[in-house]
Chain A
Amino acid sequence: MSEPPKLAEWLLRRLVGGRDSDAVAGDLRETFAARGASRLWYWGQVLSCLAVRVSLYRRRSIPGIGTDFSRAFRRLRRNPGYALTAMVCLALALGVNATLFSFLDSLYFRRLPVPEADRMVTIRRQGGHFCNWQEYFSIRNDLHTVQAAAVLFFSDSMETGSTGFDASIEGVSSNYAQVLRLGTSLGAWFTPGSEADPEPPAIISYRLWKSRFASDPRVIGKRVRIFLNRTFVITGVARPEFVSSMPPIMVDAWIPLRPVSRVALPDLVARMAPGATPAGVKAEMDVISARLRASDPRNEEIASGVLVEPRAGFASGSRKAFFVPVVTLLAAISGMVLLIACVNVANLLLSRATVRQREMAVRQALGASRLRLFRETIAEGLVLAAGGLLLGLVFGYASGRVLGLLLPSLPIAMYRGLNLGIDWRVALFLAGAGGLCAIFFSLPPALANGRRGLHPAMKGADARNSRQREIYPVVQVALSLTLLVATGLLLRALTRVEHIDPGFATDHRLYVHFSGRSDFDRQATPQLYSHLLEQAREVPGVRDATLAWRVFPRPGYGCASPTRRPQTNHVRANSVDPNYFDLMDIPILRGRGFSSADSNTLEVIVNQTLARTWWPHEDPLGQTVWLCSGLAVVAGVARDAKYESLDEDPEPLYYVPRRQDTASDLSLIVRTEGDPRQWLKPILDVAQREGGTLRIYDSGTLNDAIAESLWEARWQASLLGFVGLLAIVLAAIGVYGVVACSVAQRTREIGVRMALGAAPLDVQWMVLAHALRITAIGIAVGLLLSAATVRLLRGFLYGLSPFDPAAFAGASLAWIAIAIVASWYPARRATRVDPVTALNYE
């Protein structure tokens, strides 16, 4: 069947319009074929519709929703600057939200990247561990509803060839790959039974394969030493997306473990059998748990109830709980930024509504229903939101990529595995957020447009709109001020921590961590270290060198007690050479340091806090300390120092002389002349040449070590600072918009003032005063809001009061400056008004 002429159909739509044109076109189409598909006839019929067009009784067409959107789209295209501003504002806020949601998602909700991940569950207890390693092997064959694997996460040294490094390892039951259904990039996963091999298999992570083995396919068959120095053979490389059984923690290698240990397993990773439900699994596990309890009735650890949870995000509840403060903070600030952006768009829409209020009034007077005008404004908001959403996804993707590049350099392993990509969940979340935003920001102008009684609008300005529009920047200033106060507090806390005296000298000091584990020998290893120490002292530029077991920020623990029967053996300890105190500038306050000469009695030096806690009213000198290795006498009291983090409270610690201790891992500390970095290379050369079988693990300056310990605080402050900055930019746009718009509306008034002799400075001041008035109210509200919310930050402030006056005052002053900057351009434009033009201005 031939089609009616397109052009005629188009003309018909123009002439009749709306659904009526649909009905006419439908009628014509029905008879078109019967008329022999005559185009001439069709054209004649269409032209006859001119009668409909000119008829006095023409029905007002009621356009559909589609018309609303196409009109909104056309209007926005005609005002690209306005549309782009609104979309970019939204997109920035949505982009930040995308990245933060993605962060949250990978911590809490994302499932394992394995087939049928929705069948994976975690079996754990409310408190304590589920069972121990041996028990796992005894119960796993009795399970019907699940296939369970046991995982033990630990950090250990991993050695390949002559290099070693700290690695994160998952020691697993050998059915691990079977339960999780894992694939490899290279080689194959180990299979059940392989833990009994004389040289058991190990799988390395894709990341390790790339970084340590340069993606060399010959890695298969290489030997590595892990886990109490046992040799494993690499049989495979994991898939890149699989980082561990508890992402985002990244694991470097997986090894199968034998069922010998009684170490506690916090949880089990399990795959539900087809048809099984979490409730069914729990019922079975309750029975198993009862059996475990019966065999070990006194064990409190396995007394609490069993939980079966879908395996998503961080596996265990306690780890999830650990992140709650950070996540709450992030969610709050990203929500605030989104709110500020929405207010901006609402403001823009409302200023457009003000510009168009006359048009709206005329249309309403001509019979447009209020619902139609309302619908049109909402449609405009939705189109803006859609544009903002698309741009926001692009921004979110970009910021995720940029942060993703930064992640591997982070010192905290947990963050390195974060996946900040945009997936459908993030997109869905953003679409929801964008939709809510659209309704939020287009409701006020839509209501304003649909308002009854537009007589004043037809005549001129409507006071209500401009009043409402001034509330918006007040809200924005208040919200962004709150973020500014929070950022200020974090920065203040950071500088405060940075200025805490660590209690030991950090300038001109280098450290090199060694491990002698692989070839530990009671006689040879200490001699090797002593030799190394002598050699290090020979390096030019080295003023002195010493050996210590532990260096900030890695405290060691020892077994000691002031009484014969040790209550606790978990006391911080260090094992040092006699010149340690001198080299580290840690003064001995009472008694004396260790003597170089061998003495027959064991000696210890305690710090002030330990002396105070153990012997509150006695002289610590000469007191007896029960070490697990024997009795010792207190020879001196050293000044307190920081051992793990700068903001820690004074911790009790004791020192033992190195020669009385046979630790295999020691750190060489070197005091140098000038910049310590230039001596790092020579020291490392000596260490490699003279160190024999010792392995170098880490090296750097003590100042670096201090900086690294502050990393988390810095990270939080910079993240909040970045988001705060974004909020300020958005809010400044808001203030600018309102001031600029009011200048435009008052052009006539300004012209009159200037014609009557007002100086440009007076006019500028008038505009500025307007901006400052808005800002002042915003600051007042913001300070109240901050006071109410900053207490949430208490956990991040290292003891700084959340009501720190400097942060509050600084944020307020900053905002006054921003307001002056934001109103500078509108103020200048106001003075450039030509009175003659202004008086004719309409």
Chain B
Amino acid sequence: MPPIYLGEFEQIVLLAVLRLGEKAYGVPIRAEIESRAGRKVTVGALYATLDRLEAKGLVHSWFADPTAQRGGRSKRYFRLLPAGLEALSGSKAVFDRMWEGLHV
């Protein structure tokens, strides 16, 4: 299987999902990205990316039962698939190698 290259935003989203573990759904993912990366993310951009990652087989999503707090709407949870983990570590390795011996 050829290596999958990830864009920067994709990497950020995947890392956020990985960091959140069991609690990874829309709201915490955006909060995580906002607090750690300092970037404001629109839902549209986030879900378009997550859909793309899912289509590539890097994450898996499922619906949880609806809750009243959300107006009776269900949450869509995400989990990293092994391929997602592999792609992340592949990207990190590329950056690590590129940074090797450089001091800015």
Task: Please state if A26 and B75 are interface contacts (CB–CB under 8 Å).
Answer: yes
Nearest residue (CB) in B for A55 is B48
Q: Does A299 contact B (CB under 8 A)?
A: no
A26–B43 contact, CB under 8 A? no
Q: Which residues in A have their C-beta under 8 angstroms from that of B43?
A: 24, 27-28, 45, 48-49
Give the residues in chain B near A45, CB-CB below 8 Å: 42-44
Contact between B45 and A23 (Cβ–Cβ < 8 Å)?
no
Contacts of B54 in A (CB 8 A): 57, 59
Contact of B45 with A48 in the complex, beta carbons under 8 Å = yes
Q: Which of A22, A30, A49 contacts B44 (CB 8 A)?
A: A49
Q: Distance in Å from the Cβ of B58 to the closest Cβ of chain A?
A: 11
Return chain B residues, CB-CB under 8 Å to A46: 44
**Majority secondary structure, A binding face:** helix
Interface residues on B, range: 20 to 34
Which residues of chain B from 45 to 98 have a CB within 8 Å of any chain A CB?
A: 45, 47-48, 51-52, 54-56, 63, 66-67, 69-71, 73-76
Q: How many Å lie between the Cα of A68 and that of B26 in the bound state?
A: 28
Interface contact tally, CB-CB below 8 A: 83
Is A19 among interface residues, defined by CB-CB distance under 8 A? yes
A48-72 contacts to B, CB under 8 A, are 48-52, 55-59
Distance from B31 Cβ to chain A, minimum over Cβ atoms (Å):
8
Establish whether residues B42 and A48, one from each chain, have CB atoms under 8 Å apart when the complex forms: yes
Task: Bits for A7-24, please: 1 = Cβ < 8 Å to B, else 0.
Answer: 000000000100110111
Q: Tell me how far the C-beta of B2 lies from the nearest C-beta in chain A, rounded to whole angstroms.
A: 18
Contacts of B27 in A (CB 8 A): 27, 30-31
Contact partners of B73 in chain A: CB under 8 A: 22-23, 25-26, 29
Residues of B within 8 A of A19 (CB): 63, 74, 76
* Contact residues in A for B48 (Cβ distance below 8 Å): 51-52, 55, 57
In the assembled complex, A365 has its CB within 8 A of some CB on chain B: no
A47 to B45, CA, bound (A): 10
Interchain nearest-CB distance for A686 vs B (Å): 86
Complex Cα spacing A202 to B91, Å:
101
Q: At the interface, yes or no: A275 with Cβ under 8 Å from chain B? A: no
B69 and A57: CB pair below 8 A? no
Other-chain contact of B47, A44, A47, A52 (Cβ < 8 Å): A52
Separation of A45 and B73 alpha carbons in the complex (Å) = 17
Q: Which partner residue on chain B sits nearest A48 by CB separation?
A: B44
A24 interface neighbour in B47, B56, B63, B66, Cβ under 8 Å: B47
In the complex, which residues 530-572 of chain A have their Cβ closer than 8 Å to any Cβ of chain B?
Answer: none
On whether the beta carbons of A51 and B45 are closer than 8 Å, the reply is yes
Given contacts A52-B51, A57-B55, A58-B51, contact A26 B44 (CB under 8 A): no
**A58–B47 CA distance with the chains assembled, in angstroms:** 9
**Cα of A333 to Cα of B74 in the assembled complex, Å:** 51
In the bound complex, do residue A25 and residue B44 qualify as a contact, i.e. CB atoms below 8 Å apart? Answer: no
Chain A residues, CB < 8 A from B30: 27, 31
Q: Is the CB of A57 within 8 A of B52?
A: yes
Bound together, the chains give a CA A58 to CA B30 distance in angstroms of: 20
Contact yes or no, A29 B70, CB < 8 A: yes
A20 to B44, CA, bound (A): 12
Write out the residue numbers on chain B whose beta carbons fall within 8 Å of the beta carbon of A16.
47
Residues of B within 8 A of A50 (CB): 44
Contact of B51 among A27, A29, A44, A57 (CB under 8 A): A57
Return the chain B residue nearest A28 by Cβ.
B43
Counting from the closest, the 10 A-B pairs by CB-CB distance are A48-B44, A26-B73, A48-B42, A27-B26, A23-B76, A26-B70, A57-B55, A49-B44, A57-B52, A51-B48
Q: Which residues of A contact B (CB under 8 A)?
A: 16, 19-20, 22-31, 44-52, 55-59
What are 23 A-B pairs at a CB distance below 8 A?
Answer: A16-B47, A20-B76, A22-B73, A22-B74, A23-B75, A23-B76, A25-B71, A25-B73, A26-B26, A27-B27, A27-B30, A27-B70, A28-B43, A44-B42, A45-B42, A48-B44, A48-B45, A51-B44, A51-B48, A52-B51, A55-B48, A55-B52, A57-B56
Residues of B in contact with A (beta carbons under 8 Å apart): 25-27, 30, 42-45, 47-48, 51-52, 54-56, 63, 66-67, 69-71, 73-76
